[in-house]
Structure 1
Amino acid sequence: MKQFHTGLVVGKFSPLHLGHELLIRRALHDCEQVVIIGYSQPELPGCGSYLREQWLRARFPQAIVLVLHNDRHDLPDNDADATVHRRLMGWACQHLLGRPVDAVFTSEDYGDGFATELTRYFAEHGRRRAPVRHVLVDQARSAIPVSGTVIRRDPHAHRAYLSGEVYASFVQTVCFLGGESSGKSTMAEAMARELGTVWAAEYGRELWVAQDGELAYDDLLRIARVQQQREDDLRQQATRYLFCDTSALTTLFYSREMFDRAAPELEHRAGRRYDHVLLCAPDFDFVQDGTRREDGFRLRQHDWYVAELRRREIGYTLLTGSLRQRIDTVLAQLTGSR
């Protein structure tokens, strides 16, 4: 038997860092059931409520996660009187969860007053008579010496205090598109090397080679799925940027080109957005490596990308010139976006 039946952890989780995770794991250790409530008014930069809910559910699937979204709830301002916030939590437990809690877990000296107010709220509404206990965890921040305020200033400098799932949300995705033999792979690899990060290689090319140049209709959806899963996995390993060699938009082009149709899921996956889209111009000699079509096909691909990106209202930068010129263009764009 654990010490408590139901424990409560409340926070902004902006972002969810390892100090929060230490607190939640202590609650999971001490309680049969843990309720995590997150909210912030206003939202803090880079930490929207739906993103915070995603983090909490990914990291703590065994807990009950309740994130109060600003577009659904009338939330008090972050600097409102403490009693307002405490009674809001009592209301959330009663009306949204349908149960009181036995303990609250915090790393703050306000925890005793929080527990007292919850006890009062539950008694007023006939939910329980036993006092809510307060469990204080690492108040001195000796185990995890960091705060959300510090991390928000520069998540990349403090990535050691973020789980991979959380840090991935601060990684910018940079996608290289273009026709065959237009330098996409070269650019993705060169930029990753230039900025000390990782890049997502083109799975479609790998499968094409593995199957001796034979692709079936169903292979195209498989390519899109694997490519995007590769991107999702590599974002957790990246540093500030993830460079992507093509996207599902490329796969969509080949599906239509080869089979005159595309699976609905592939159409949907082709809508994935990237922070930066770079279109490689076909402005140097076509290189035939045995897997490509011909230069005329490359030019037709390029024209399709231009039209499709415009149709989808996706902004992009056209990369021209030598490899060094292209690298400098991307560096200037990325530096200017920080």
Structure 2
Amino acid sequence: MPSTPRAGLVVGKFWPPHRGHQLLLETAAAQVTELLVLVYANPDSPTHPAAERAQWLRELYRGDEAAEGPGIGPTPLRIYALAAADGVPPDAADDYTQREFVRQWLARQGLRADVVFSSEDYGPGFAGHLGVPHVAVDNARAQVPISGTLIRAAAREVAGYLHPLVAAQLGVVPPAPVPRVVFLGAESSGKSTLCAALADACHTVWVPEYGRTLHEQKHGNLEFEDLLYIARRHAELEDEAATQAQGVLFCDTNAATTALYSYYYFHRCDPILRAMAAVCGQRYAHTFVCAPTVPFEQDGWRGPEALRSFQHGMILMQLDFFGIPYTLVEGTVAERVAQVREVLGTA
């Protein structure tokens, strides 16, 4: 294999991107200094075309310099969505036609691959046609036993093999090892304090609001793209915490509230984020809303106190719009803990 620097190549439908694809991309990225990813199919998905699937991949691996996300490390991914205008051959075309199409497309773009990565039997012949080595990644599907065909046939049944961002685009939610309980509310309505108290009382863990973390790391200078990143990262942190939780996982805020803030700050919301917001009713076993009746604490990051009532109303409106049942909690921290535990049956 050529010495570094070298460029890797991964080609696939990614219809849809799943955990097996992530294993492939992350394994490849660990061995190269640049990774080229070509996304295409012919015929293509009429509901989620290649351009959309490529964007999901970009969002899955979009990091932030101020944040510590999982990402794919320092290796840049150059993700290309190809369509009919690029001369994409039919999926049923012979191997030579498929291989030659990629070779010529790379040449036209002035791109070169030094190594091909794949999880398919066609990989060695494809790499040989390009005159580069091949690296096989879990061809037997032993590490991640899933395929795009299985997901397209029964996405809900195999949603566990999908990243929550991708699953939301298909209208499904990956199963969780423990029930997730989410707390919503206006700024300074006691969500974090209540989550921490409940986690202590129930001997489990909780997930802080990642949007607050990134907001502080970026000194309050969030950009439009950060809102989707916040929702994606928060979902990942929930998944990580769920493996440590005992019986229940408490979550401070969800993607639906992140979508509200996207509209509040930027007057628009990324369609991917909207889809993540739309499945919140499926993602959480119960939703609690903290009444904005505790003393307001201005910590330098929050808006004025006068906004609390408006934010509270918007959250309730959104829950009603999505048809998500909720429980309003009021009173002191101890009283709120008791209310939640009674509803959950953990008192």
TM score, norm. by length of structure 1? 0.52
Find the counterpart in structure 1 of residue 12 from structure 2: 11
Residue 17 of structure 1 contacts residue 163 of structure 1 at CA under 8 Å; is this kept in 2?
yes
Residue 228 of structure 2 contacts residue 270 of structure 2 at CA under 8 Å; is this kept in 1?
no
CA RMSD of aligned residues (A): 5.1
Find the counterpart in structure 1 of residue 185 from structure 2: 202
Distance 1:102 1:243, change over 3 A: closer
Larger radius of gyration: 1
Pick the aligned partner of 1:68 from 62, 81, 90: 81
Distance 1:78 1:206, change over 3 A: farther
Aligned mates of 1:227, 1:202 — CA distance in 2: 18
Aligned mates of 2:48, 2:151 — CA distance in 1: 11
Pick the aligned partner of 2:260 from 239, 243, 248: 248
Aligned mates of 1:230, 1:6 — CA distance in 2: 30
1:12 Cα deviation (Å)? 0.9
Q: Deviations over 1:41-74 (max 9, x none)?
A: 2333764323322333225472332322437534
Q: Deviations over 1:198-243 (max 9, x none)?
A: 54613347399x9xxxxxxxxxxx8x9999877555555599xx78
Aligned mates of 2:292, 2:136 — CA distance in 1: 66
Find the counterpart in structure 2 of residue 36 from structure 1: 37
Matching of residue 135 in structure 1 with residue 120 in structure 2: no
Distance 1:288 1:105, change over 3 A: closer
Matching of residue 113 in structure 1 with residue 96 in structure 2: no
Q: List gaps (5 residues or longer) in structure 1.
A: 119-130, 174-195, 211-221, 253-264, 279-286, 292-296, 310-315, 324-338
1:39-118 matches, within 5 Å, as: 39-44=40-45, 47-57=48-58, 58=61, 59-60=71-72, 62-70=75-83, 73-96=86-109, 98-118=110-130
SS at structure 1 position matched to 2:150:
helix
Residue 9 of structure 2 contacts residue 117 of structure 2 at CA under 8 Å; is this kept in 1?
yes
Residue 7 of structure 1 contacts residue 34 of structure 1 at CA under 8 Å; is this kept in 2?
yes
1:37 Cα deviation (Å)? 1.4
1:11 Cα deviation (Å)? 0.8
1:90 Cα deviation (Å)? 0.8
SS at structure 2 position matched to 1:36:
strand
Residue 38 of structure 1 contacts residue 67 of structure 1 at CA under 8 Å; is this kept in 2?
yes
TM score, norm. by length of structure 2? 0.51
2:9 aligned partner, one-letter code? L
Percent of aligned pairs with the same amino acid: 26
1:95 Cα deviation (Å)? 1.6
1:90 aligned partner, one-letter code? R
Aligned mates of 2:132, 2:17 — CA distance in 1: 25
Distance 1:227 1:7, change over 3 A: closer
Aligned mates of 1:247, 1:107 — CA distance in 2: 36
Aligned mates of 2:188, 2:97 — CA distance in 1: 58
Aligned residues: 244
Residue 50 of structure 2 contacts residue 81 of structure 2 at CA under 8 Å; is this kept in 1?
yes
Distance 1:318 1:163, change over 3 A: closer
Q: Deviations over 1:76-132 (max 9, x none)?
A: 222223222211211222122x133222122222223212332xxxxxxxxxxxx32
Q: List gaps (5 residues or longer) in structure 2.
A: 62-70, 174-178, 194-219, 243-253, 282-290, 296-308, 328-347
Find the counterpart in structure 2 of residue 193 from structure 1: none
SS at structure 2 position matched to 1:109:
coil
Find the counterpart in structure 2 of residue 151 from structure 1: 151
Residue 107 of structure 1 contacts residue 139 of structure 1 at CA under 8 Å; is this kept in 2?
yes
2:54 aligned partner, one-letter code? E
SS at structure 2 position matched to 1:132:
coil
Q: Which moved more, 1:108-117 or 1:57-66?
A: 57-66
Aligned mates of 1:64, 1:157 — CA distance in 2: 30
Aligned mates of 2:8, 2:112 — CA distance in 1: 9
SS at structure 2 position matched to 1:31:
coil
Aligned mates of 1:247, 1:33 — CA distance in 2: 33
Find the counterpart in structure 2 of residue 214 from structure 1: none
